[in-house]
Amino acid sequence: MKTTWLKSSIAGIALIAATGGAWADKANDTLRVAFTKELENVDSFFNSSREGVVLQRAIWDGLIYRDPVTNEYKGNLATSWEWIDDTTLEFKLREGVTFHNGEPFNADDVVYTVNFVSKEENGVKTQRNVNWMESAEKIDDYTVRIHLKEKFPAAIEFLSGPVSMYPDEYYAKVGPSGMGLEPVGTGPYKVVSVVPGQHFVLEKNENYHDSPKGQPEITNIDIRTIPDVNTQMAELFSGSLDLIWQVPADQAEKLAEMDQFTVKNESTMRVGYLSMDAAGRSGESPFTDLRVRQAVNHAINRQELVDALLKGQSKVVWTPCFPSQFGCVEEAAKTYDYDPEKAKALLAEAGYPDGFTTELYAYRDREYAEAILSYLNAVGIETDFKFLQYSALRELNMKGEVPLAFLTWGSFSINDASAMVSQFFKHGSLDDARDDQVLADLTVADSSTDPEERIEHYAKAIERITEQAYWAPMFSYNTNYVYTNEVEYTPTADEVLRFTTMSWK
């Protein structure tokens, strides 16, 4: 440590003396990006963060690729696929692809990856991403079958998202920890170095196959974790960062006024909602009364929240899912106009002419939660506001001890309604509605292979959920991307930075 320090200090001083500062970006063909959160592990099966998804899309490939703009599925490591029966998918694999370490890509890699990640004891962090797969079977070197545990129509979406293909020999040798430190994939960028949680350096894969992701243009990507947004902005001003994202709305507004930066706002799949204990799991709960839940829905001025706080591409959401998701039928959702008088009348009808007091829980975006509670106060619902760590709130939620909570869900960027509505309304530990009719519809919708049938039953479930006002869905989130004018980039609506679509102007 000491000697490298001395060396780097001398090098650092020399560099600063020579260039008057280490501020060169385009000239070195290096794009410098900041992450806010420390990424737990680069191995994409062993993290559950947005930063992890960004690296996953750069380092690895899936069998299938979904175009983030048209939502059309295209072959990536597979060239074609077909359903053999309801639970068997057959893939023809692309030939001539090699991993960054030179290992050729073939059916063995797919078989190894699928068999490894689908086993629960191997501890893949987000089980839902992989636990629908039973196993994989090699037919020949470039033909492979994936067997599903049961009917799972969203398989294609998952295979185009979180399920990346790993090199079998290397992964068998190094495992998740080794993969996290020295990742090897087939993707458009190779990993040069990883300092866990802090610093990630990527380099263009010159031999990248003819992928629908497109060829990488920028040679080097240098990602540092800078926890403080103000520091990120300072780095941007001093010319030592080129791109930051997840910038808060008020900061982004200021940056947009400066000529040297491009500020783009894009929607994300995250939906904010109020969840109410309709089933009475937390004991005597006013929310078991439909009129109270309707009153809550009428009490909140969603448009005002969007205009004043979230801004950007955020929209009012009425569905218990993100509207772009397959099956998230917006027309099926009942809407509740902002009408505090009606809310008060409904409360009076339900036996609360003077309102009542309830606990309101939240775990993020305190200012949004506070705005929401002031709307509730205005119609007579007094709140005992509790702001907790996510894990603590989650635990209470699972025990059914939360009467009212402001929650959000990002669906892991999976463009299928099953990733949201089915997570919360199928009588699981987080289901505060426990509605059998909804369960029946979602069960059909989640497992049918007929798209029409799926849409029909998701629509029914959404209709029932919103008529019963189990939730008060409120708004979608957005994120701000800020980059120097030298960078050419069009962010997509799924909150994933795609380095292959970035270039210098």
Partner 1 sequence: MLLFISKRLGLAILVAFTVSFISFTLLFLAGDPAAALAGETASGEDIEAIRKLYGFDRPMLVQYADWLLSAIQGDFGESYYFRLPVAPLIAERLSVTMTLGVCGITFALLTAVPLGVAAAIRPNSFIDRLALFLSVAGQAMPSFWFGLILIVIFAIQLGWLPPSGASSPMHFIMPTIVLGYYAMPAIMRLTRAGMLEVLSSDYIRTARAKGAPEGRVLFRHALRNAIIPVVSLAAVQMGFMLGGSIVVESIFALHGAGYLAWESIARNDLPTVQALILVFSMFYIVFTFLADVLNAWLDPRMRSS
Q: Site residues (CB under 8 A) for partner 1?
A: 1, 5, 8-9, 11-13, 16, 20-23, 38, 40-41, 43, 46, 48-49, 120-121, 123, 125-128, 131, 176-177, 180-181, 196-198, 224-228, 230-231, 234-235, 237-238, 240, 388-392, 394-395, 398, 410, 412, 423, 428-430
Question: Which are the contacts of 148, defined by CB distance < 8 A and separation ≥ 6?
Answer: 86, 87, 88, 89, 132, 133, 134, 155
Q: Looking at beta carbons only, is 235 or 486 nearer to partner 1?
A: 235
Nearer CB in complex with partner 1: 21/353:
21
Collapsed DSSP state (helix, strand, coil) of residue 269? strand
Q: Please identify, using beta-carbon distances, which residue of 2 and 331 lies nearer to partner 1.
A: 2
Minimum distance of partner 1 from residue 480's CB (angstroms): 20
123: left (phi over 0), alpha (psi -120 to 50) or beta: left
Q: What is the largest CA-CA distance in the chain?
A: 77
What values do phi and psi take at 483, rounded to 5?
-145, 160
**Nearest-angstrom CA–CA distance, 161 and 65:** 7
Distance CA 207, CA 215 (A): 9
What is the C-alpha separation between 319 and 271, in angstroms, rounded? 9
Query: What's the min distance (Å) between Cβ of 419 and partner 1?
Result: 9
- The nearer residue to partner 1, 28 or 177, going by C-beta atoms, is 177
Full 3-state SS string of 116-160 = HHCCHHHCCCCHHHCCCEEEEEEEECCEEEEEECCCCCCHHHHHC
User: Which helix (H) or strand (E) element contains residue 235?
Assistant: helix 229-237
For the CB of residue 311, give the shortest distance to partner 1 in the complex, in Å: 23
Question: DSSP characters for 423-447?
Answer: HHSSS-TT-SS--HHHHHHHHHHHH
To partner 1, the closest distance from the beta carbon of 172 in angstroms equals 17
In contact, 499 and 483? CB cutoff 8 Å = no
Helix 290-299 × helix 340-349 angle, to 10°: 160
CB atoms within 10 A of CB 15: 13
Looking at the Cβ atoms of 28 and 429, the one nearer to partner 1 is 429
Task: Compare residues 238 and 437 and give the one whose CB is closer to partner 1.
Answer: 238
Q: What is the smallest separation between the CB atom of 167 and partner 1, expressed in angstroms?
A: 19
Of 12 and 451, the one with the shorter C-beta distance to partner 1 is 12
> Please, is 131 exposed, middle or buried when counting C-beta atoms within 10 Å of its C-beta (0-12, 13-18, 19+)?
middle
Q: Shortest Cβ distance from residue 478 to partner 1 (Å)?
A: 18
We find the least distance from the C-beta atom of residue 13 to partner 1, in angstroms, to be 7
In angstroms, the Cα distances linking 359 to 242, 281, 432 are 44, 14, 15
Residue closer to partner 1 by CB (options 229, 256) is 229
Smallest gap from Cβ 51 to partner 1, in A, equals 12
Q: Toward partner 1, which CB reaches closer, 121 or 341?
A: 121
Could you give the CA distance from residue 91 to residue 323 in angstroms, rounded to a whole number?
30
Least distance (Å) between residue 5 CB and partner 1: 7
